Structure 1
């Protein structure tokens, strides 16, 4: 049995790696995507354009504008001189925010009174506008606190961020990409495996081979799992070495989670491959599946913000649980019992998918 299974595994590896273009595709694009997405996928707002409608003629208003202009998130300040110009600037998307300084701004500060500012945001860019609004609030609170010589900040809230003090978005994105990109590669490899056999006409040879359906499934699972784990570990290493993401958890538990994740995703891919008659169908099916899996996993939006029905669906998405494990392992040394809780759904998905794939292959071999 083991000799037949070993021969099948070697055959699968050779069919994947014999083409030099395939080897480049397996390694090059995922690593390139890691570096591109690590810098492109971010909720941070910088180089923003702010419009300022200054109705005050005092020195404090000019000092406030100078402080805004020297902020790292502000690229350009557009001076506004009328309400009509303010409306036009926002309508034409020339600025993401407008800050209106009232006439009595300097007078109130001079009298040690708390002044008020009006900030109008472009709601068409809701996320970026809200983040920029928070930046403006922090800058304004700091400026007013300094000018009023207060011992405490104007805002009663003192923010402290655990696990990610500087709110560096790369600390979230880079570990998560080790799951997202490895999932896509694993889905494609397993999705093409049986479909490629059918298209090339070699699937019929399995009918006369001594390999059982279970051995065929295991042989086709092994290479995608190995390649997915290699890519995942490369990205994890790049996160620590290149992007300086702190790693404080257990590497062994993370490897167990990565293996379980690759097993479940490869099993799902085999189901698609078993029902596909051509490689084109398999590729389209895998891509059609990958996008909902990523959206439901919590990578782009929190699962808790989704409707209850979608939260139940997200529970059975392996990527959902892997992202929790990898982020927790990197930043806060997530305990083993929590990791085991998230391994169980992935194991269940792998078991159901492998059973379905084995049944589909067995029905084709009979």
Structure 2
């Protein structure tokens, strides 16, 4: 029994070595496999941000009073709002919004200061460009906060109830903190899925798969031998992204590194199972690439990476249960930011394990029957 096991493992190691050589023998492949993960992590970290750090706005001040000037100086001194235009009439509002000169326009009426001096309330109009709804909503909330603060400090209007906000897991409320940990799973999935999808298709296109079939290898040998290299590459890419997040962007990790890598290993196994099934179904590398790219975008959109799963229609929420990236992102975010324990994320392991249990035997069955 031990002799058979040693021989089985020896055959498997030879096949794994062959797969690694086919992937890493070309120096260009080594660069392509790891450079994109590095570049994409840096680009996402700097470019993919929902934080409001720069907002162009215009002013139509018909009051010309000291109170209006003091209010506008609060915005000008915030460092976030940049006044790009000072308007003279209402007709100019439409032009600056249509030309994207200003995301927000503040219109102060002529009787603004007169009403305030008489002890009355006076409204100012805020016009926002809704073509960028998320930024417009954030800018509107910030302007509202500045106006409330101005009321308390300058006009003596003190609210009976004050709200003190404390943000857990992201004290600076930076969107980068929520997005970057998700990339540990999302970016590595692309290469893992593509490598596993091309593995058998490449052999068939090169005419070497027939030679593989006449060797003593069983379908289980072939499946494991072709699964391990993509899993290794996926784990290496996750490590690169993790190091960038920790040391370049300095986002602290609160959870267990061992639990994080255990979750990533299960996630990559589920992804490789899907990739091998695609590879077994594809007749050549072109088909495998087309099927993979066709699948990547829905997996990304239905993962919760960009929009919460809870905000999706009910039928799409059900569809996300067959998406390993949804549970991979949830697991990584909770372990990295919250410091969650296994008992808190065990529900994320169940769907990923189920997908691996279904997809890997399916790939093995396709190897044996279809090929």
Q: Is the 8 Å Cα contact of residues 109 and 147 (structure 1) preserved in structure 2?
A: no
User: CA–CA distance in 2 between the matches of 1:3 and 1:296?
Assistant: 41
User: CA–CA distance in 1 between the matches of 2:45 and 2:219?
Assistant: 41
Deviation at 1:355, TM superposition (A): 1.3
In structure 2, what is the equivalent of residue 13 of structure 1?
20
- Decide whether aligned partners of structure 1 residues 337 and 98 sit closer, same or farther in structure 2, where only a CA change above 3 A counts: same
Deviation at 1:152, TM superposition (A): 4.7
Deviation at 1:91, TM superposition (A): 2.3
User: CA–CA distance in 2 between the matches of 1:207 and 1:151?
Assistant: 80
In structure 2, what is the equivalent of residue 240 of structure 1?
246
Secondary structure (helix, strand or coil) at the match of 1:49 reads strand
User: CA–CA distance in 2 between the matches of 1:113 and 1:156?
Assistant: 23
Q: Which of 141-150 and 348-357 deviates more? A: 141-150
Secondary structure (helix, strand or coil) at the match of 2:49 reads coil
- Per-residue CA deviations over 1:181-227 (Å, capped at 9, x if unaligned) read 10001011101101100110001111211110011000000001011
2:56 pairs with 1:56? no
Q: Is the 8 Å Cα contact of residues 51 and 80 (structure 1) preserved in structure 2?
A: yes
User: CA–CA distance in 1 between the matches of 2:61 and 2:254?
Assistant: 49
Q: Which of 292-301 and 330-339 deviates more? A: 330-339
In structure 1, what is the equivalent of residue 362 of structure 2?
356
2:146 pairs with 1:139? yes
Q: Is the 8 Å Cα contact of residues 69 and 77 (structure 1) preserved in structure 2?
A: no
**TM-score, length-normalised on structure 1?**
0.95
User: CA–CA distance in 1 between the matches of 2:167 and 2:356?
Assistant: 36
Mapping of 1:1-366 within 5 angstroms? 1-110=8-117, 114-150=121-157, 152=159, 157-365=163-371
Q: Is the 8 Å Cα contact of residues 47 and 76 (structure 1) preserved in structure 2?
A: no
Deviation at 1:70, TM superposition (A): 2.0
User: CA–CA distance in 2 between the matches of 1:142 and 1:98?
Assistant: 19
Q: Which of 345-354 and 103-112 deviates more? A: 103-112
Deviation at 1:110, TM superposition (A): 4.4
Deviation at 1:52, TM superposition (A): 1.2
User: CA–CA distance in 2 between the matches of 1:205 and 1:122?
Assistant: 63
Deviation at 1:72, TM superposition (A): 2.5
Deviation at 1:309, TM superposition (A): 0.5
**TM-score, length-normalised on structure 2?**
0.94
Q: Which 4+ runs in 1 deviate beyond 3 A?
A: 107-115, 149-153, 155-159
In structure 1, what is the equivalent of residue 4 of structure 2?
none
User: CA–CA distance in 1 between the matches of 2:192 and 2:275?
Assistant: 8
> What do you get for the CA RMSD once the two structures are aligned?
1.7
Q: Is the 8 Å Cα contact of residues 240 and 247 (structure 1) preserved in structure 2?
A: yes
Q: Is the 8 Å Cα contact of residues 50 and 76 (structure 1) preserved in structure 2?
A: yes
- Per-residue CA deviations over 1:265-287 (Å, capped at 9, x if unaligned) read 11111111111111111112111
Q: Is the 8 Å Cα contact of residues 253 and 336 (structure 1) preserved in structure 2?
A: yes
- Per-residue CA deviations over 1:156-201 (Å, capped at 9, x if unaligned) read 5443322212111111121111111100010111011011001100
- Decide whether aligned partners of structure 1 residues 113 and 255 sit closer, same or farther in structure 2, where only a CA change above 3 A counts: farther
Secondary structure (helix, strand or coil) at the match of 1:75 reads strand
User: CA–CA distance in 1 between the matches of 2:167 and 2:102?
Assistant: 29
- Per-residue CA deviations over 1:216-271 (Å, capped at 9, x if unaligned) read 00000000101101110221122111111121111111111000011111111111
Q: Is the 8 Å Cα contact of residues 224 and 266 (structure 1) preserved in structure 2?
A: yes
